[in-house]
């Protein structure tokens, strides 16, 4: 049974209780469920459910008992891997079981890669030797320092019912209101992603944008998050606490961002994580401090050959953002200006693959407007949900459904012999050392390098391409490593998202030509088999080198046989290669042309035509026969009627 609803809200918490034999696991569970000390408990209890009204959060808790015997180890591991929280027990009257936590149980949880929060519970408190008192905080501090996954430590007694319900309340709380995403225990500070989320919330609540929350704005925030207004005396009290503890936390205009962040850090330090989590969830955040999927209305693609693009409204918003953050008006964004845009997003999205080096930049490393919009186009193509989340986080105020649109099916574009797309996705195939990386680098303005560095992973670059007449289209080039072609083509729908495919070969190397031809035929066959045939172009790279004998004749013959354009010569090293990108866009804009046909594909097409013409002949013949019979019947009927 899933523990989350469709909106990501917890519908249940699964707590697994483990520890050494005889530490009181089963008695603890039984006492919590019945509010009485059990006379007799079996060795291992069946799963026990605490109803939703047992604790204030209104979420039911399922408690799973476990055995520590070797025979039950497989089942124990399985239960631990399914746990939302783990309760580790030791016996207060058996010091050895306490030392076993750090010598065995906690390292074992790490070895099994259990990510659930841990609650350490000392059972049988009533049996501890009073002559050997123990300070729990002093004993557990070094253990908690070593094992940060420990959320809480508590001691209890099932016999006297001391703190028994608290054990599973803390376990539930650790799941529903986790500390790890919000607070760095080691540094005793809010984590960066938490600060970014709270900063966005502060800015959304600061309606007059004066850098402070006035009393009215604070009250509105309180009502939104907790359905109850603050009394004037309470507002004064909150401000006083902030003023006493942090300089600059309160200004003449109200509570500043520094004060707002301090308040939440204070809530967490005092164990009131539910307060901060209530705020975060009210503004749409999940446990990873990302916007939940249920508030991201990404349009649905109904077919594999449809893609998602930014609308003109979203592009206009992004142009405005670029101008706003281009503080020196030099037409490009410096790294500091660029980072400021995403200060209210979970992180800056383009600092990792596939976005980190995917767009045009100036020689100083600044991002141009073309590069900025191209990065957004790439993110929309690869991950529409991620794109929409970032748009909302940086302040897109329009209806989220107006930011993205689904394109028409490519198969429909092919029939209509035109496309309405503004972003084209191009797969770049070719053997090693054919010049794929050089082509991609030249597309985003990177200088040519004679040092060969093989591409082992899929790489993307994106840029705007200006067409005749002044129109602009965005082109995404995706380099397919030679080792990854087989895996790519094993997926029947691999070409569905591809608008055009180009095949590079080193025109000075005969092997490179032969391998590129093989790749071209493989892709053509896959397109014919799947119904996702794509326009293809052949590019003779390294045109500045001496070609191998018969190079031009062989490539021209192959393209002619397949019904493609003649190979395009490109010398990335010596001359401008921009014209080749216009040719690629032009091929994508005419999706019915340049689709290669193999001999097998031609035979299949001829066979279909023959079958269709035969069926048409049969239907015409049958229709004529039916008409003759009908006419004869009518004449007989008319003659009989006249008689």
Q: How far is CA 460 from CA 37, 308, 429, in A?
A: 64, 17, 13
Residue 73 has pLDDT above 80, yes or no: yes
Is residue 309's pLDDT more than 90?
A: yes
> Could you read off the pLDDT of 206-219 as tens digits, one per residue?
999 999 999 999 99
Mean pLDDT of 493-506: 93
Q: Which of 276, 272, 268, 245 is nearest to 183 (CA)?
A: 268
Q: Tokens in use for 236?
A: 């004064």
Alpha-carbon 539 to chain mean position: 34
Predicted confidence (pLDDT) per residue in 148-191, tens digit = 899 999 999 999 999 999 999 999 999 999 999 999 888 889 99
Average pLDDT over residues 229-248: 92
369-382 and 384-393 helices cross at what angle (nearest 10)?
130
Cβ atoms of 255 and 217 within 8 Å: the answer is no
Selection from 74, 106, 70, 87 nearest residue 16 by Cα: 87
Give the pLDDT confidence score for residue 382 in this predicted structure: 95
Mean pLDDT of 86-110: 95
The H or E element spanning position 593 is none
Is the pLDDT assigned to residue 390 strictly greater than 60?
Answer: yes
Question: What pLDDT, in 10s, does the model give residues 462-483?
Answer: 999 988 777 899 999 999 988 8
d(CA 59, CA 176): 9
Q: How confident is the model at residue 556 (pLDDT cuts 50, 70, 90)?
A: confident
Cα end-to-end span (Å), the chain: 81
518/357 Cα distance (integer angstroms)? 30
The class of domain 189-289 in CATH terms is mainly alpha
Cβ-contact 65, 26 below 8 angstroms: yes
> Of the ranges 121-135, 370-384, 405-419, which one carries the lowest mean pLDDT score?
121-135
Superfamily for the 13-176 domain: P-loop containing nucleotide triphosphate hydrolases (3.40.50.300)
Q: With 70 as the cut, is the pLDDT of residue 575 above it?
A: no
Average pLDDT over residues 127-139: 82
Q: What confidence score (pLDDT) does residue 1 get?
A: 45
- The yes or no reply on domain 410-597 and CATH 3.10.180.10 is no
Q: How confident is the model at residue 610 (pLDDT cuts 50, 70, 90)?
A: low
Q: How sure is the predictor about 574, in pLDDT bands with cuts at 50, 70 and 90?
A: very low
Q: Which of 230-239, 266-275, 326-335, 553-562 has the lowest mean pLDDT?
A: 553-562
**Which position has the higher pLDDT, 199 or 559?**
199
Strand partners, 333: 367
Q: Which of 276, 178, 279 is nearest to 227 (CA)?
A: 279
What average pLDDT does this structure show over 589-598? Answer: 90
**pLDDT tens column, 423-465:** 999 999 999 888 899 899 999 988 877 777 777 788 999 999 9
pLDDT surpassing 50 at residue 280: yes
pTM of the prediction? 0.85
- Are 406 and 303 in contact, with CB atoms under 8 Å apart? no
pLDDT for the residue 538: 92
pLDDT interval class at 549 (50, 70, 90): low
Beta strand pairing status for 183-184 and 189-190? Answer: antiparallel
Question: What contacts 501, CB < 8 A, 6 or more positions away?
Answer: 426, 427, 428, 429, 495, 523, 534, 535, 536, 537
Residue 635 has pLDDT above 70, yes or no: no
CATH of 310-406, one of 1.10.238.10, 2.40.30.270, 3.10.20.30, 3.90.1150.10: 1.10.238.10
How far, in Å, CA of 386 to CA of 308, rounded?
12
Percent of the chain with pLDDT over 70: 91
Mean pLDDT of the chain: 88
% of the chain residues with pLDDT over 90 = 66
* 374 burial level (CB within 10 Å; 0-12, 13-18, 19+): buried
Query: Cα separation of 109 and 81, whole Å?
Result: 9
Mean pLDDT across 300-309:
93
3-state secondary structure of 412: helix
**pLDDT tens digits, 5-46:** 545 578 899 999 999 999 999 999 999 999 999 888 888 999
Q: How many residues does the chain have?
A: 643
* Average pLDDT of span 234-254: 93
pLDDT recorded at residue 526? 93
């Amino acid at each position: 049974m899933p523990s989350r609803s469709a909106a990501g809200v917890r519908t249940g918490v699964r707590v697994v209780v483990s520890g050494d034999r005889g530490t009181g696991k089963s008695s603890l569970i039984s006492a919590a469920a019945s509010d009485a000390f059990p006379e007799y408990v079996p060795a291992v209890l069946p799963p026990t459910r605490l109803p939703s009204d047992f604790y204030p959060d209104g979420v039911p808790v399922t408690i799973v008992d476990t055995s520590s015997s070797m025979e039950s180890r497989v089942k124990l591991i399985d239960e631990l891997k399914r746990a939302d929280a783990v309760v580790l027990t030791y016996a207060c009257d058996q010091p050895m079981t306490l030392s076993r936590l750090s010598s065995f149980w906690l390292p074992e949880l790490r070895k099994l890669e259990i990510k659930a929060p841990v609650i350490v519970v000392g059972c049988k408190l009533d049996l501890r030797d009073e002559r050997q008192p123990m300070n729990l905080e002093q004993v557990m501090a070094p253990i908690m320092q070593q094992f940060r996954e420990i959320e809480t430590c508590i001691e209890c007694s099932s016999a006297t019912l001391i703190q028994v319900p608290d054990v599973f309340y803390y376990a539930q709380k650790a799941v529903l209101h986790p500390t790890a995403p919000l607070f760095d225990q080691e540094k005793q500070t809010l984590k960066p992603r938490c600060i970014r989320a709270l900063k966005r919330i502060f800015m959304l609540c600061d309606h007059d944008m004066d850098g402070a929350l006035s009393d009215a704005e604070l009250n509105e925030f309180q009502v939104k998050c907790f359905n109850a207004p603050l009394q004037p005396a309470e507002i004064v009290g909150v401000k006083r606490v902030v003023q006493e503890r942090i300089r600059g936390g309160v200004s003449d205009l109200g509570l500043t961002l520094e004060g707002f962040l301090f308040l939440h850090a204070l809530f967490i330090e005092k164990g009131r994580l539910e307060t901060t989590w209530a705020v975060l969830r009210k503004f749409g955040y999940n446990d990873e401090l990302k916007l939940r999927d249920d508030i991201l209305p990404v349009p649905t693609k109904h077919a594999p050959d449809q893609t998602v693009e930014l609308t003109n409204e979203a592009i206009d918003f992004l142009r405005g953002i670029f101008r706003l953050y281009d503080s020196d008006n030099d037409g490009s964004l410096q790294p500091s200006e660029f980072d400021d845009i995403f200060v209210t997003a979970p992180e800056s999205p383009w600092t990792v693959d596939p976005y980190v080096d995917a767009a045009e930049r100036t020689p100083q490393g600044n991002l141009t407007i073309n590069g900025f919009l191209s990065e957004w186009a790439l993110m929309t193509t690869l991950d529409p949900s991620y794109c929409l989340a970032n748009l909302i986080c940086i302040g897109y105020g329009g209806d989220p459904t107006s930011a993205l649109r689904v394109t028409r099916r490519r198969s429909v574009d092919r029939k209509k012999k035109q496309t309405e797309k503004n972003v084209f996705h191009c797969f770049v195939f070719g053997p090693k050392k054919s010049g794929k990386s050089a082509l991609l680098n030249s597309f985003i303005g990177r200088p040519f390098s004679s040092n060969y560095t093989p591409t082992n992973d899929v790489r993307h670059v994106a840029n705007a391409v200006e067409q005749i007449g002044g129109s602009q289209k965005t082109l995404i080039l995706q380099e397919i490593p030679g080792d990854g072609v087989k895996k790519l083509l094993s997926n029947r729908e691999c070409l569905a998202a591809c608008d055009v495919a180009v095949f590079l070969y080193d025109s000075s190397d005969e092997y490179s030509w032969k391998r590129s031809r093989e790749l071209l035929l493989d892709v053509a066959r896959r397109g014919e088999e799947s119904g996702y045939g794509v326009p293809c172009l052949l590019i003779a790279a390294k045109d500045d080198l001496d070609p191998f004998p018969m190079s031009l004749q062989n490539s021209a013959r192959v393209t002619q046989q397949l019904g493609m354009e003649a190979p395009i010569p490109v010398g990335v090293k010596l001359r401008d290669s921009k014209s080749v990108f216009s040719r690629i866009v032009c091929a994508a804009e005419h999706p019915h042309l340049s689709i290669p046909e193999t001999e097998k594909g031609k035979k299949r097409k001829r066979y279909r035509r023959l079958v269709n013409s035969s069926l048409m002949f049969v239907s015409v013949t049958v229709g004529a026969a039916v008409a003759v019979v009908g006419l004869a019947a009518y004449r007989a009927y008319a003659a009989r009627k006249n008689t």
